[in-house]
Structure 1
Amino acid sequence: MIKKIFLILFISFFCFIDLSFSSSRLPILESKLEKIDKIVAVVGDEIILESDIKDSGYSIKNFCKNLLNNKSIYNNDLIIKKLILFHAKKNKNIKIDSKKIEESIHLFLKKEIDKLDYSNRVKFITNIKNNKNLDQLISFEIDKQYIDKMINEITKDVEISPEEVKSLFYDLKKYYTILVPKKFLISYIIIYPEVNNFFRKKTLNYLSEIRKKVNSNPCSNNKLFSDIKTFKINKVPKEFNIAFYLKEQEVSEPFETNDGFYLIKLEKIKHNELDIRYIFIEKKYFNDELINTKLFVNNLENEIRNKNLEIEEIVENNIFNNKNVNSFFNQKIWVNENTIIKHFGKLNLNNNNIIKGEKNNYFFIVKFLDSVKERPFSLEKDSIYLENVVRYINKKYEIENWIRSVSKDTYIKCN
């Protein structure tokens, strides 16, 4: 039981590092830079600003008070992060890999750009060139690398023993009945009809007109939008990511997803939350589009069956080539039954069978490859998982001991 609590604390500890440097926060930095940011605390020569505290979910009013009352820094993620960062920069063994920083930023920018239509891509690239967002992202990536390397340095000598692994297993078994759920190995294709060009142009023009009116008068036409939806920065749905590149009260260009057409309005930025309104118009397909797509899916299924093709062969050999449909592939992934039901409905999967079907506005072909039955949690079969858990716990102890040691000689002041 105690070991489980330590595990939860340890995973939470590492999660805060990831979330603190989440690149999804980058786009709201421009708004923060317009305000005067007050220094609340100092760790070594690393500062903690009001905006850092807000983004981490702490109360500015109680931040220092709680820290002093607890007489401990061990439960304060923000202080711990700054403490590790301060000592990482002083450690001569830690060198920043500039190439990895460039690769990480390039990957992030590519992912963000790929989500946008042409007009919003131009806007995003212009914003990156004309403001300090890129400098902020570079700074975040450098700090993240410092912290990752320092944690590796602190925990490099951590070892695990077979006895520790067994002890954890029997502790878990004592208090819980753990079952590993049944899993299926599948490959699949999801196919959407290509929407009629007339409907697309008409919808995009309609949304563009609304955008012009609202951007010229932000208070107008709010009735056309949804009620305000509030999202945490790191939990914004992918279809709303464009909101990160908007100013308050600004409306995005209309854009298209597999499900339909969106217009997003950013109402307000609140600490680590976004208030968003949106207009969504579902895609409508004519009967001939649905019939043609269904015919294509039938032909593709026959091709797979008759030639005993794997899904990856279709992708690699460009067999799947039709401008009248949009598609999404996934090859050889393990999923549980709930995931299958969510995306495809109840399927009767058995040895090497192929199932085609239709759900909402898309068609699919699923190829069953293998399965693993539900079974009790096992010391032998789940040894790698158990070893990783023990390693996490031991690293947590090592980091906590390191914090106790260095915090005594580190200048920490909270105003």
Structure 2
Amino acid sequence: MAESKQVFKKVVLAYSGGLDTSVIVRWLQETYNCEVVTFTADLGQGEEVEPARAKAEALGVKEIYIEDLREEFVRDFVFPMFRANAIYEGEYLLGTSIARPLIAKRLIDIANKTGADAISHGATGKGNDQVRFELGAYALKPGVHVIAPWREWDLNSRQKLLDYCEQHDIKVEKKKGKSPYSMDANLLHISYEGEVLEDPWAEAEEDMWRWSVAPEQAPDTPAELTLTYRKGDIVAIDGKEMAAHEVLEYLNKIGGAHGVGRIDIVENRYVGMKSRGCYETPGGTIMLRAHRAIESITLDREVAHLKDSLMPRYAETIYNGYWWSPERKAMQALIDDTQEPVNGDVRLKLYKGNVIVLGRRSDDSLFDEKVATFEDDAGAYDQKDAAGFIKLNALRLRIAASKGRKF
């Protein structure tokens, strides 16, 4: 039941134009007797967002915001995350997680601009997204009110939503061949949940995947490409300079064509449950492999290891919705500082689901052939020094062993 004592004059809703958020528009209007402002973001989900305007207008919405945020999304959110090589629980490249702080930011921006006294979203009470949206909103505007209809109403099934539409004369598009899965897409990834995937033993159906071919169906001829890095970010592919979102669009296309980027995982949600999901992240998979390759020759050993030790905490921070937190900002400052020398080129081969590093080069490389060579190093490294190094590092082990300690 809604908070009957709370009065809102204007509410900004994160609006997709789909069934759920269309119902939410009318539900907000009726439950709170308020004006609704809709905000629709183009994050590269691969579908036209402009039709949301006509749907919102049909619901009586007067203030409608539809924004192309692809460049900002990749430049200011995806790229900083990939500087950290962030990956959650060893597999998930955080495609949904990293989109939420930008949406929260724009909801608050629009609320401030329009004088709205609340924001609303269509995330359910079982998922992580409600946490991400709301933590972001409260961090950016502490006094904002958040309305989460899925935690208030009793329209907890698709049929009840459809019945509500019929009762309130809400036109719903019935798409032929609509996927039965719960899906979320942006330029970084597309996710699939629900239906057969709710059984962790059941194999994902091949016709579920949208962005990539199966590795066994990928071309027999590999693709090669060279990525150019500047301060940890990709700025060119095969010598052609590109904007951040163009980089990811290109890598998604070529990666998907070669079967790169599919994963099927069971993850631990922040709200406490385990959830099985399938993800396609072709561009991100390529970016992660290439970034580690360029870092391998440009980062000092201890700096690289410090970064690696922070990464799980950084990834968990984003997954749980704390992008706008002081700890994420502090970690980001350290990470970004390490990226100053991360410049140069990485040469890759894509082949049947694999991303293979062929070479890496940089004017900032710390790789010294004179020292690393197995041939005559002309005195660049005195191998006799290794004896003392080993003895000093073995000292504690020798002392413990002499006292009869067993390991």
Q: TM-score range by the shorter chain?
A: under 0.3
Query: Greater relative contact order (Cα 8 A, min sep 6): structure 1 or 2?
Result: 1
Q: TM-score, normalised by structure 2?
A: 0.25
Structure number with higher helix proportion: 1
Q: TM-score, normalised by structure 1?
A: 0.25
